Amino acid sequence: MSGQPIAVIGASGQVARALQRAGAERAANLVVAGRPVIDLTRNASVAAFLDGIEPSIVINAAAYTAVDKAETEEAEAFRINRDGPHYLAKWCAAHAVPLLHISTDYVFDGCSRTPYSERDACHPLSAYGRSKAAGEDAVRDALSEHIIVRTAWVYSADGNNFLKTMLRLGAERDVIRVVADQYGTPTSADDIASALIDIAGRVLANRASAPWGTYHLVADGHTTWHGFAREIFAAAEVEGYNTPRVDAIPTADYPTPARRPQFGVLDTTEIRRAFGIALPPWQEGVAACVRRLTHHVQCAHQG
């Protein structure tokens, strides 16, 4: 990679923090920033930050990710998820710098019964999904040298996510009821980060022949939220924890402000073909994350 840094936007987020870990492990030159250093909703803030560090490539790991809250804050979601990527892509186009941008399976309506390919039409069901689809279009319109990576059901030992919520509820309750008719792929932020660093290295090494475009990046396989929860508790049990019973319920019994795709499974053939990237089975990342979290708890109790 060149001597210029990789700019990572979104310092405290799950993927941004995983990027910091992956970057440190591989001695990559990363400059990571989030609010208040860079505010994606302000063009001047984006330009000032990027002008200051002159990156070789930009990775946008920042987003408005509160899926249910976005139903009542759609304008704010669009400011962050559409206008932010637009400002980034405009700056990148003006300075001939590539942009790696992260998007979501929620751009699809989930009516398919086969995994979504990158060529399938977007039809988001929620304000969050609409704002992310608009962000993708903003990047494509402003900058040809982009890679958009759609991922799903992201979890890590940091931040708020389904895995951590399950462990917390599991410590409080004997029975947990979890939706069993929505399908997707739990994907570790660490695996996403590692793949993004690989992609950055690849496109910087050979920009002229880089396979710019949109790709699906999720762990191997798929499950339901109920299957995800059961796997989390199976992993916690291995670590010696008491675990609750996990009952399967339909979406209708767990109404949420935002509609989610019923089938959000993404086909990852293209990213394997273009970049040789294939993430491990989703169960492996879950076990690793649960080990990390339960080990932290044990250390804290001992300390």
Ligand X SMILES: NC(=O)c1ccc[n+]([C@@H]2O[C@H](COP(=O)([O-])OP(=O)(O)OC[C@H]3O[C@@H](n4cnc5c(N)ncnc54)[C@H](OP(=O)(O)O)[C@@H]3O)[C@@H](O)[C@H]2O)c1
Considering only 49, 78, 108, 153, the residue that binds ligand X (CB under 6 A) is: 153
| Least spacing, CB of residue 106 vs ligand X, in Å | 7
Other beta carbons within 10 Å of 300:
8
218 forms part of the interface with ligand X (CB under 6 A)? no
Instruction: Return the SS3 of 1.
Output: coil
The four Cα atoms 208, 93, 123, 199 give a dihedral, to 10 degrees, of 40
| Catalytic residue, candidates 106, 116, 128, 155 | 128
15 forms part of the interface with ligand X (CB under 6 A)? yes
50 forms part of the interface with ligand X (CB under 6 A)? no
Candidate segments 10-18, 235-243, 286-294, 295-303, binder of ligand X by CB under 6 A? 10-18
- Using alpha carbons, select from 93, 89, 100, 82 the residue that is nearest to residue 41: 82
Give the chain's count of helices (H) and strands (E).
10, 12
214 forms part of the interface with ligand X (CB under 6 A)? no
Q: List b or e across 40-69, with b for residues whose CB sees 16 or more CB atoms inside 10 angstroms.
A: beebebbbebbeeeebbbbbbbbbbbebeb
Please say which residue, 64 or 116, places its beta carbon nearer to ligand X.
Answer: 64
Annotated active-site residue 64? The verdict is no
Secondary structure percentages of the chain, helix, strand, coil, to 5: 45, 15, 35
Report 20-49 residues binding ligand X (CB under 6 A): 34-35, 38-41
102 forms part of the interface with ligand X (CB under 6 A)? yes
12 forms part of the interface with ligand X (CB under 6 A)? yes
Beta bridge partners of 281: 220
Q: Enumerate the active-site residues.
A: 128
Residues that bind ligand X (CB under 6 A): 10-16, 34-35, 38-41, 61-65, 80, 102, 104, 132, 151-154, 159
